[in-house]
Structure 1
């Protein structure tokens, strides 16, 4: 018979999991023993938060389930920030945390057992899609299967599974997979008349469209109804098509598409505050929402529920064709205006954006990352991972470790955020992960420095005494070098580093002005 640990790994393998990220503790060592011969790769990290960030990065890169294995109490608590990011960004992550032995637990009492918490599951509930703590030894297969299905079902999100440590050694009993439901053919009748009546439609594609693989369907709908396509951070690279706008709605030139539209077709988007400038974008005259949930930030006239790819494909077949032969040219001209706006606003950002084109990129919450997230040119799905959900500083480097298991990735980090998880340079080195860190050293928290200065105050508490980042990386056995600015030396070194094996760090000493996607520079203002 299989032990609980063996059964858990069996279920994960059945869901296509080939790698897990984790940190061992006294309570979860049975999982490490079971992993020895399981065929699942273990990537050991140096902090539990990295385990969840890496699982998140892997889930975003693959479209599958990312798994973090952590220990009890403080180990589990260390995961909460990263789990919140996965929740807000809709990432399929399973956090498996051990709990104290069931034999030591007394309901309603805190006894002071090692790593005990009053209710470990309760810590996670605000930042997960769902969560369970096992109550019987023979339930691990069923609950692990349910947790994996929940995490990977739309709307995707992280799930918590708590396992008392003694259950990992106990007989797990049997289990049978929960059958997956065959989705019904979507009924788009309610949206057809709305689309047919529109003369200036706009397609607004969000992260749900990307997670559903709806890019080709969105492009087909755009061609059929003559609608430009704007993408949110979560949908960058959704599809390479001449109707896709290459800049964010935070530029007035792009925002005008929203203002002029008589119908917005929202695909897999909840129209969050970051994209809509805290909902200062006026409600469109008509809104058709394609989503698995009810959109609350704007009131849809019609909601078509279901898988974004299937629903949009059905719309393409059902709505009358009204192609716009001049749309591609107008979008090309708009994209030219976006490029000129970047060149005029922050010319030093242009070579950074150009050098990253064609690479898969994970960015942190830093000024350089904001430029890349808003204005980087991405043409394939899953080319960009951005912490748009919670906006968690420190996301970039650890998330890139999970993404790098699928091939070379570039992590764009600031000096402050990189220090959150710099110890996991050891993980990158030990696992020979193909990640290139572009570490922009501006001597502090550049965005916050900007906020203080633009408010007429002297910088205070935002400048940092940084280590020698090149020496730091080399001390872990990671190749590293430094350049000044984003000129030719940066371009050539980045091209060289991204062709090599294993990890490397490129330190760039530069300061960039925050882009217009950042809230202090939003062009839409509260009316007073």
Structure 2
């Protein structure tokens, strides 16, 4: 009979988990001992619990699989909350396993002062998870792990917290064999949706993160080809499909925004129309809206829909593509893409040089909440599904580098970060080197918090708190054994990227103004 730690790993392995991210603590050392002998799961040890969850999130976004973080009790668990909130807001399937104080020492309703004890550790996670569980007894540990994994992977995806009393990890527990995966629900009746599409002349497709998480890329491409409809993608759906109908730029630009304005039908697939994508809902409701979503309430919470098809985005979209009649093209997507490119070139030639240096890469790009990250999130042409991870859900500064650690388990990764946000997790340069992960850090150093400096500038305020003392980033990286170069501006960036394979840092000393995707520059203005 295995102990609890072994059971935990066996259930994860039965769900095809191959890697976990974590940090050891006195209460979870039994898991590290079990990992030493477990044949199927790799542990990547990080230097901060927040990194563990960011890395699990980056892995989940890059692969579509479950990301797992294993951390210790009390402050270790609490350190994960910012990263867990980002996973929640972005719909990432992440499991946070945190130990808790020994069950035998706990008294309900009493804080006794046990090492790392909180009054209610699970309650910390309520606002930032899809679901949370405490394992109530050692024999039930396997069943609770199974339940937590299934909840994280069940659409709509999201992070799940699992609290395990530390003494359960060393207790003998029965083996737990997970049941087979739940089948997708059948495609519902599409008659109303087909009728709405048939009446349209100028349809536009709006594809969101739910479409990407369901693997709906091919189906979206087929539907777009059938309808000759432009495809607007949210940050979470960049690279969804390789189609000539995909608009290569954000709806925040006037050329792409006009598609929304002129459409007589918007087909929304796997999206909730969040404020960041709609300029806080200043985009007018389209004259007709068809929503495909696993959650009816989520589909209609921001714009009322004429028809909602509640179901899996991939299967529903595929069925629609097979059922609808071909239409003639009204919109010229190639011309729109040319106009978006011209808009960006006129707005910031330096930013376009930066984007051109990244063009054509097969690496996963993970962008932080920083000015160069905003340019990448809005304007970089992502050529493959899951090719971009961007923290638009919660907008957590410091996401980029630690999330890239997780993404790099699956594919070479470029982390686009600023000097301010990188310092949140710079200690994990040690993880990068120790695990020899193929991450190239492109650190754009503008001397501080560039976006906030811009906000102060346009408000006519003096710079306060935004100009930072920084290290010599190249020497910092090299002190961890990570090769680094420094560039003055973006000339030479493409060549520097081509020369990197394993861990590396490229420091680019440059200043960029934020793109039109950032709220101070939104072109739609409130009449209030």
Structure 1 equivalent of residue 388 of structure 2: 384
1:319: how far off? 2.0
SS of residue in 2 equivalent to 1:405:
coil
Correspondence for 1:59: 60
Partner of 1:320, secondary structure, is: coil
- Is the contact made by 2:205 and 2:231 (CA closer than 8 Å) also made in structure 1? yes
Match in the other structure for 1:493 = 496
Aligned position for 1:153: 154
CA gap of 1:224–1:323, structure 2 versus 1, over 3 A, is farther
C-alpha contact 2:204 2:230 (8 A) present in aligned 1? yes
Contact kept? 1:207, 1:234, Cα under 8 Å? yes
* 2:400 equivalent to 1:396: yes
Match of 2:426 among 399, 411, 422: 422
Deviation at 1:87, TM superposition (A): 0.4
Partners of 1:264 and 1:288 within 8 A in 2:
yes
Residue 37 of structure 2 aligns to a residue in which SS? coil
Mean Cα deviation higher: 96-105 or 173-182? 173-182
| 1:243 corresponds to which of 245, 255, 259 | 245
Q: Report matched runs for 1:329-478 at 5 Å.
A: 330-357=332-359, 358=361, 359-478=363-482
Residues 447-505 of structure 1, C-alpha deviations (whole Å, 9 max, x = no match): 00000000111111100010110111111111011000011x222112212xx2x2010
Task: Find the aligned partners of 1:115 and 1:356 in 2 and give their Cα distance.
Answer: 45
> 1:95 is paired with a residue of what secondary structure?
strand
Q: Deviations over 1:370-425 (max 9, x none)?
A: 00010001111011000010000000000000001112110000000000000000
Q: 1:237, 1:382 within 8 Å by CA — same for their partners in 2?
A: yes
In the aligned structure 2, how far is the partner of 1:406 from the partner of 1:299? 39
CA distance in 1, matches of 2:328, 2:120: 57
- Aligned residue number for residue 527 of structure 2: 527
Match of 1:38 in 2: 38
Residue 216 of structure 2 is matched in structure 1 by 214
Q: 2:99 — aligned with what?
A: 98
Q: Which residue of 1 aligns with 2:193?
A: 191
The 3-state SS of whatever aligns with 2:441 is strand
Measure, in 2, the Cα distance between the counterparts of 1:16 and 1:124.
Answer: 25
Q: Matches of 1:122 and 1:366 in 2, distance apart?
A: 31
Structure 1 unaligned regions, length at least 5: none
Partners of 1:461 and 1:417 lie apart in 2 by 14
Q: What's the TM-score, normalizing by structure 2? A: 0.97
1:197 offset after TM fit, Å? 0.7
Cα offsets for 1:296-349 (capped at 9, x unmatched): 11111111111101000111122222242x65xx11111111111111101001
Match of 1:298 among 296, 299, 303: 303
State whether residues 132 and 161 of structure 2, in contact with CA within 8 Å, keep that contact through their aligned partners in structure 1. Answer: yes
Unaligned runs of 5+ in 2: none
Output the CA distance in 2 between the equivalents of 1:425 and 1:57. 16
Match of 1:317, SS state, is helix
Q: Give the distance between the partners of 2:405 and 2:177, measured in 1 at CA.
A: 33
**How far apart are the structure 1 equivalents of 2:348 and 2:294?**
39
| 1:112-123 paired onto structure 2 within 5 Å | 112-123=113-124
Answer whether contact 1:217 1:309 (CA < 8 A) is retained: yes
Structure 2 CA distance for aligned equivalents of residues 384 and 524 of structure 1:
26
Question: Is residue 17 from structure 1 mapped to residue 20 from structure 2 by the alignment?
Answer: no
Q: CA deviation at 1:153?
A: 1.3
Give the Å deviation of 1:183: 2.4
Tell me if the contact between 2:372 and 2:444 (Cα under 8 Å) persists in the aligned partners. yes
- Give the Cα–Cα distance (whole angstroms) in 2 for the partners of residues 168 and 375 of structure 1: 47
TM-score relative to the length of structure 1: 0.97
Give CA-to-partner distance per residue, 1:250-282, whole Å, 9 cap, x none.
Answer: 011110111111111000000000000000101
Please state how far the C-alpha of 1:190 moved relative to its aligned partner. Answer: 2.4
Q: CA RMSD in A?
A: 1.0
Q: Match of 1:317? A: 322
- The answer for the alignment partner of 2:127 in structure 1 is 126
Aligned-partner SS, 2:408: helix
For residues 80-103 of structure 1, the C-alpha deviation after alignment (integer angstroms, 9 at most, x for no partner) is 000000000011100000000001
Mapped contact 1:146–1:178 kept (Cα < 8 A): no
